[in-house]
Structure 1
Amino acid sequence: MKKKITFLIFTVLALLCVVYSGMVLATGSGTSFFLVWIGLAVLFFLFGYSVWKSFWKKVPRLVKGICIVVVAAGFTAFFIVEGCIISQMHEKGEAGLDYIIVLGAQVRESGPSAALKYRLDEAVEYLEDNPKTICIVSGGQGANEPYSEAEGMAQYLKEQGIDASRILLEDKSLNTEQNMEYSKALIKDGASVGIITNDFHLFRAKQIARKYGLDNVCGIAAKSTPVYLPNNMLREFLAEIKFLL
């Protein structure tokens, strides 16, 4: 009976992952990360099925031990990294920064995506409170975008009343590493810099900024859409592991 209940629980988890993958796909972000949730669904189902059919008992002890160590190490790494990400999710930077860099995200014909709009609204608030700060909008044009992210961000900021003289465009970058590398060329040596991005992305973004020589840097966390936070947190975990390796 316990085995059957375990199978049912993991089958439900698998179905939830499939449904969630569809929600992620429906955002139209242009990434294939929704497939990770399909993969998790398969793993949940196979694990539940193996427990139900007692396959685990037939696995050699050495293989069991290796599997347990790998899973334990994976969970340990996951919780450590997620703890670091969470620790930066409410950072609001410092007043009077010389520059802020708004990291790009998807733009559409209708304007900024929800994730990017959160970043831009945070930038508007900061720029209104700190009238001497210069804003760098950083992002090139992806294959599924009508124009560069920098162009879309600059237009949005101007529509919100930010003077064009305070906006610098970096419109060549295609990822966070390039955001930092190319934006640094627009920044005076020794200047103070704030990185504006969504809360789940801030921890890694600051690490990358320091990698490219932006030492006097702080983070300014923008909101994110709660329903997609599990997807974004999982993606950031994998991206952080890749960055560290």
Structure 2
Amino acid sequence: MKKFWDLILGALLILYVIALNIMSGSRIAFSLPVVILGIVLIIYHFIKYKIKENSFLNKGLKIIKVFLCIGLICFLCIEGVIISYPKHNEKKDDYFLVLGAGLTNRTIPNSILKGRLDAAIECIKKNNSAYIVLSGGQGVDEDLPESHAMSKYLEERGVDKNKIIIEDMYRDTNQNFKYSKEKIEKHSQKSLDEVNVKIITTDFHAFRSSILAKRNGYVNFDNYSSPTIWYLIPITYTREAFAVIKSELFDKA
């Protein structure tokens, strides 16, 4: 069995992604890299003995393994921070900022986004004096901006339309905060540091959201996160570790 670990792991990764996308009803972000990794592992299984027979290729493989070990350690450290970051603050705030996450069948909030919207409903029931900012632009695979679908979802569940503020310009989490900041300041007629904002997202996303919130001038904020559906935990938390690195290097206010 030990000889076939790479073949088995590669096949499991590919099958996991296929099952995941079928269960979710839409293409899950980061599916392609996982499939590529699975294919690489399967190919490696059939050529690893030939590599070991070639001294030059064998030395190269050892160097690659060293870098992979270093990368794995860094990955696990980032995951530890993501997992341990505080995710559930029930303090009353002036605004609830719900971050977009994608649509299923081009018009309906996907399972992750539904979780965030349900969390927003929980919050507004406990603090009905707050306003909900829905941040979500329109992707190429969507028939309408996410924020419009989000608003429809909330209204159908009894949320007052007058309590909803729509931001439909964003393309990523960094822009979520940039454009939502403008909406909040315009609506409140105050500087952002004078209002309290609750960031509503999914648990895997809380840490990176806080980084980007600070970068965009959010001062008085806290988090309220919805739980990740069990079968999405491996891929969402893995993707998020790489997204944290990407945000640290490239996302600017």
Fold-level similarity (TM above 0.5): yes
Give 1:188-207 correspondences, 5 Å limit. Answer: 188-189=190-191, 190=193, 191-207=195-211
* Residues 63 and 7 of structure 1, relative CA distance in 2, 3 Å threshold: same
Which residue pairs with 1:130 in the alignment?
127
Stretches of structure 1 lacking an aligned partner (at least 5 in a row): none
What corresponds to 2:51 in structure 1? 55
Match of 2:243, SS state, is helix
The equivalences for 1:162-173 within 5 A come to 162-173=159-170
1:30/1:41 Cα in 2 relative to 1: closer, same or farther (>3 Å)? closer
Query: Pick from 9, 14, 29: which aligns with 1:13?
Result: 9
Give 1:86 deviation, angstroms: 0.5
Task: Identify the residue that residue 227 of structure 2 maps to in structure 1.
Answer: 223
Q: Percent identity?
A: 32
* Deviations 1:4-33 (CA, angstroms, capped at 9, x unpaired): x33322211111011112134434545663
CA distance in 2 between counterparts of 1:238 and 1:132 reads: 37
* Partner deviation per Cα, 1:177-231 (whole Å, 9 max, x = no partner): 1111000012232211111111111111111111111122211111222112111
Aligned length, in residue pairs: 239
Q: What's the offset of the Cα at 1:65?
A: 5.0
Cα distance in structure 2, aligned partners of 1:20 and 1:223: 20
Structure 2 unaligned segments of length 5 or more: list them: 185-189
> 1:118·1:223 contact (CA, 8 Å) conserved in 2?
yes
Name the structure 1 match of 2:84. Answer: 87
CA distance in 1, matches of 2:27, 2:175: 19
For 1:153 and 1:74, how far apart are their aligned partners in 2?
37
**How far apart, CA to CA, are the structure 1 residues paired with 2:34 and 2:20?**
9
Supply the RMSD in Å over aligned alpha carbons.
2.1
1:114 — aligned with what?
111
Q: 1:77 — aligned with what? A: 74
Q: Which residue of 2 aligns with 1:146?
A: 143
SS in 2 for 1:203: helix
Task: Give CA deviations for 1:102-161 in whole Å, capped at 9, x if unaligned.
Answer: 011223466321111100000000110011111100001112212111111112112222
Q: Point out the more displaced range, 228-237 or 36-45.
A: 36-45
Partner of residue 240, structure 1: 244
Equivalent residue, structure 1, for 2:216: 212
Q: TM-score, normalised on structure 2? A: 0.86
Question: Could you tell me the TM-score, scaled by structure 1's length?
Answer: 0.88
Residue of structure 2 in register with 1:186 after alignment:
183
Shift in CA distance, 57/94, structure 1 to aligned 2, threshold 3 Å: farther
Specify whether residues 127 and 87 from structure 1 end up closer, same or farther in structure 2 by C-alpha distance, changes over 3 A only: same
Q: In 1, Cα distance between the equivalents of 2:52 and 2:39? A: 17
Tell me which residue corresponds to 1:103: 99
Residue 41 of structure 1 aligns with an amino acid whose one-letter code is G
